[in-house]
Amino acid sequence: MFEPERCAREILGQLVRIRTTQPAGDEKDAVIFLREIFEPFTKEIAVLDHGANRASMILTMPGRDRGGAVAVTGHLDTVNVDSEEAWTHAPFSAFCDGERLYGRGAADMKGGVTSIVLTALKLFREGFEPSVDVHFCFTADEEYGGIGAEALCNSGKLDCVAELVVVKPTDGRVGLAGKGALGLSVSARGLSAHASRPGQGVNAVEQVSAFARSISALLRKKGRYPLLGASTCVVTGLHGSISTNVVPDRAEATFDIRTSPGISHAGLLDQIHEMARAQMQKYPPLVLEITPYLDRPALGMDGDAPLVRRFVRIFKTLGLPWETTGITYFTDASVFVPRLGVPFVVIGPGDERFFHQADEYVTLKAVLQSARIFEEYVRTIPGAEDGEG
């Protein structure tokens, strides 16, 4: 007998106990666990081995029309644990108080993965046949490089996918926009001088800071985006001082830039390089060198798109309040959506304000609610004969 609450607790608990922390990942251990769950129901399980005990998996539920497909995707990796002493309960013990299950990755993203698993299990046990193929995807390395999503796109197994549900902790709200991420390494070479005579030097640390402020001002001029607000530039690393009484002539910094949909990263980089040239001309012999280390595009969906309207109907059917949100961090959607060219929504259990922290948790109620949403989504996927309304 399929008991959703018991299954949720057991599957989520085991996923939390399986350590898939970055940078090692070790997602293959979780893939083995998930494959064993579904092997009694289907042979359509594809494991993509990335090496070094890292892997992603695609579980396919065959549809009546095998020429079409949709995908529901969640990731298996988690961030690391900085200090276990900061946790009330051991971060991999999967302690459950009956309502909340605690542990590293409980919200991001083992709770969401559990919701996907519960959905697939229930439908497989029923022998349900969707209108088109449904690919349940479990990816490695979402938190950093996106090797899992890239490998799935390169595999060709998602070529027929027409729409995408990306599972992330949104506290039950539906994400219709996501900020892009542009990471820059900035190196500055100025002119050294004694700190008592700063006017004789070109302070590389101050120049990097001024450069960041210029980028922030440029982004503010580009306005605010609904659900996301303004684009931002944050200095996340800065080193340059060589002595307490010397104007530093070298500085190394990292800039984390978050962009709204409609901002081309290529165009933005052109503007940033032009600003650097202007600053160097103003403060010779200053040299600014800029190297991108991360480039994830921003994404946005029209609130009246057919996929979104279907989710509105799903929420109404289930008696759930409809609320949309924007995703300020990047997700696998920033890999999948540009590569596949498909509409998307982002939704899942857990509150984004509390993941990546000590005592991370997700409620079993939220996991089960997301599973009901995903189940209704699969049941109501239109076929070629149905069209979109």
Closest CA to 299 of 273, 336, 260: 260
Which tokens go with 81?
């644990």
Q: Residue 12: name the closest of 108, 137, 85, 81 by CA.
A: 108
Query: Residues 297, 299, 300, CA angle at the centre, nearest 5°?
Result: 160
3-state SS assignment for residue 180: strand
Q: Find out whether 94 and 13 touch, Cβ atoms under 8 Å.
A: yes
Indicate the SS3 state at residue 364. helix
Which SS3 state, helix, strand or coil, does residue 61 take?
Answer: strand
pLDDT confidence of residue 389 = 46
CA distance 148 to 111: 19
Q: What is the predicted pLDDT for the residue at 386? A: 64
> What are the backbone angles phi and psi of residue 62, rounded to the nearest 5°?
-65, 140
Q: What is the pTM of this model?
A: 0.94
Instruction: Note the pLDDT of residue 387.
Output: 54
Segment (H or E) for 258 = strand 250-259
CATH 3.40.630.10 domain extents, the chain: 4-178+298-379
Give which of 326, 271, 283 is closest to 301, Cα–Cα. 326
> Tens-of-pLDDT digits for all 389 residues of the chain?
678 899 999 999 999 999 999 999 999 999 999 999 999 999 999 999 999 999 999 999 999 999 999 999 999 999 999 999 999 999 999 999 999 999 999 999 999 999 999 999 999 999 999 999 999 999 999 999 999 999 999 999 999 999 999 999 999 999 999 999 999 999 999 999 999 999 999 999 999 999 999 999 999 999 999 999 999 999 999 999 778 999 999 999 999 999 999 999 999 999 999 999 999 999 999 999 999 999 999 999 999 999 999 999 999 999 999 999 999 999 999 999 999 999 999 999 998 887 889 999 999 999 999 999 999 999 999 985 565 54
| Two structure tokens written together for 301 | 């969906």
Whose CA is closest to 200, among 246, 144, 237? 246
CATH code at 4-178+298-379: 3.40.630.10
Do the bridges between strand 54-61 and strand 45-51 make them parallel or antiparallel, or are there none, so unpaired?
antiparallel
pLDDT at 241: 75
Q: Which fold has domain 180-296?
A: Alpha-Beta Plaits (3.30.70)
Q: Which neighbouring-strand residues pair with 225?
A: 229
Domain(s) labelled CATH 3.30.70.360 in the chain stretch across 180-296
pLDDT of residue 385: 59
